[in-house]
Amino acid sequence: MTRTLSNKQAERMSGAFKFIVLLFFGLLLMAPFIWMVSVGFDRTANISMPFPPRLIPEEPSGFNYGIVFENGRLIQSYINSAIVTVSSVLLGVTASLFAGYAFSKGRFKGKKLLFILVLCTLMIPMEPRLIPLYKLFNSVDLLNTFWPLILPTVINGMLIFLCKQFFDQLPDTLREAAQIDGAGEFKIFFRVYLPLAGPIAATMVILAFIWSWNDFMWPLVVLNNQELHTVPLYLASFSLENGTSLGGLTMALATVSILPIIILYLFLQRYIIQSIALSGVKGE
């Protein structure tokens, strides 16, 4: 009896210790974000940044955020980012679902070799592709449009890999039973497998959304017209124009710029957890 109580006490102490450690590192990771939001509410930060940094402003004010939501250029950059991101997510996730299903359940020659080529694209960073992509879109006169930001995202090796791993976990007997009933490949995909792909689709949506919304280098190369600037480009230009001044307004802009990502993640987080539990990403 005494040994049982000691074991329970040890487990509680171990659980409490793990909780404290995780809480500490969680707060440590959240500190920069909390500081950014706090500075946005500090009107005096537009004159000089508070030093040493403080997490709670002395005189909280919504002045900076009021200016942010009245900023016409920010609203235009939001619209531009929304057009690019929504288009990229829809096309990229749709193409990845088709490709992942084909690589997982399809039977065709060269499937393994083609899948290896898709995985090889993960080892090529964006920087070596900038010049070839720029010359390609320049040759078809698509620079200073949204197409160079949308079209390259249609084929995404990481999303295809995640989707294939997910479909690999689903039994082939579902496909065989549908084939016995006379269903074709497209009907099998849309009626049998696609309804089960909600978790991995949600994961791909949030990943594609983050990549597209936060993209900075490629839009900087292909967009010279300020009216077409996305949110990251507008934030960069605003910081360059104002230097170290208007720190509170800059932080307010940065906070507002990441709100869509936070909101999307809050809505889709349970599906993301399901996809990690059901797919091969967990290392099975």
pLDDT tens across 55-76, in order?
Answer: 777 777 777 787 777 777 888 8
pLDDT at 43: 72
Per-residue model confidence (pLDDT) at position 284: 40
Top mean pLDDT of 44-48, 88-92, 151-155 is at: 88-92
What b/e readout covers 120-155, taking b as 16+ CB neighbours within 10 angstroms?
eeeeeeeeeeeeebeeebeeeeebeebebbbbbbee
Residue with token string 């960069």: 236
Q: Which distant-in-sequence residues (6+ apart) come within 8 Å of 126 by Cβ?
A: 217, 218
Of 190-204, 235-249, 253-267, the poorest mean pLDDT is in 235-249
Domains of the chain in start order, with CATH, are 1-70 (no CATH), 72-282 (1.10.3720.10)
- Provide mean pLDDT across the span 101-107: 87
Residue type, 223: L
pLDDT (average), residues 230-236: 87
Q: pLDDT class for 48, splitting at 50, 70, 90?
A: low
State pLDDT tens for residues 172-218: 888 888 888 887 888 888 888 888 888 888 888 888 998 999 898 89
The CA-based angle 16-17-18, given to 5 degrees, is 90
- pLDDT value of position 90: 94
Any idea which residue has 């949600």 for tokens? 202
Q: Environment class of residue 67 by beta-carbon count within 10 Å: exposed (0-12), middle (13-18) or buried (19+)?
A: middle
Highest mean pLDDT among 38-52, 93-107, 237-251, 270-284: 93-107
Which residue has 């949030």 as its token pair? 206
Residue with tokens 């004159």: 47
User: Is 42 strand, coil or helix?
Assistant: strand
Give the pLDDT of residue 244.
Answer: 58
Q: What residue type is 186 in one-letter code?
A: F
Which amino acid does the sequence have at 62? G
Q: Within 10 A of 83 (CB to CB), how many other CB atoms are there?
A: 15
Tell me the one-letter amino acid at 106.
G
